[in-house]
Structure 1
Amino acid sequence: MLKYYNLPHGFEDAITFTDSVELFEDLWEEWLNTKLYLLAKGTPLLEKGYKGVFEGLPEEKQSELIMRKATFAKAAEIYL
């Protein structure tokens, strides 16, 4: 997985996975953190970190985000 491309140096991170579940979990964490950042951007919630942002969301939104993981796993044929 290549992350964070910067000219002219290329990718900052290059991670090799040999286990599809580990790759899925890492990609899930990246997706969730991005979503949480976008939800909290410009608010004081962002100062609490990703865990604090998640806990500060209404239960319905928390459930919606967690259900997305199950949806992604099913689409990727990953069984958690």
Structure 2
Amino acid sequence: MGEKYSKEDHDKCKKVAEVFQELYDVLGDTCVLDAGEFGFVYLTYYREQKSCFDRNKVYRNAEELFEALWDEWLYSEVMQPVYGTEDAEAGFEEIYRKLPDERKQEYAVRKQQFMDQAELKQE
């Protein structure tokens, strides 16, 4: 099964998963589950008709889990205001690039707040 997954690794991942609770509440089709010795499973795109998630990935590293959840949080924050409009067709990268620097700075501050809550250090 590879490297030993320690209690410390588990506790760090758990803290990260808890920090992003608002993400799961907003999206409604995403969650992170504690799979014990296997790690934390990040489930996305729940399909009610099939009663399953379209994507899943297991994380055993808190920093990697944090980055995956941060990316999803940022994507939803940037794209939410333009869903259903022609602007959405430009895609995340283009929309983010056009944001005012002040807004990008707000996102950087929010990321640091999440990192502080998760007790992670910025690399």
Range class of TM-score, shorter chain: 0.7 to 0.9
Q: Which residue of 2 aligns with 1:55?
A: 97
1:40–1:53 contact (8 Å) kept in structure 2: no
- Tell me the secondary structure at the aligned position of residue 60 of structure 2: coil
- AA paired with 1:34? S
Q: Which residue of 1 aligns with 2:35?
A: none
- Tell me the secondary structure at the aligned position of residue 78 of structure 1: coil
Sequence identity percentage: 32
Q: CA deviation at 1:38?
A: 1.1
Q: Which residue of 2 aligns with 1:3?
A: 44
| Count, aligned residues | 80
Give the CA RMSD over aligned residues: 1.5
Structure 2, gaps ≥5 residues long: 1-41
**Runs of 4 or more consecutive aligned structure 1 residues displaced over 4 Å after TM superposition:** none
Instruction: Map Cα deviations across residues 26-79 of structure 1 (whole Å, 9 max, x no partner).
Output: 000000001111133354432221111111111111111121111111101111
TM-score by length of 2: 0.59
Structure 1, gaps ≥5 residues long: none
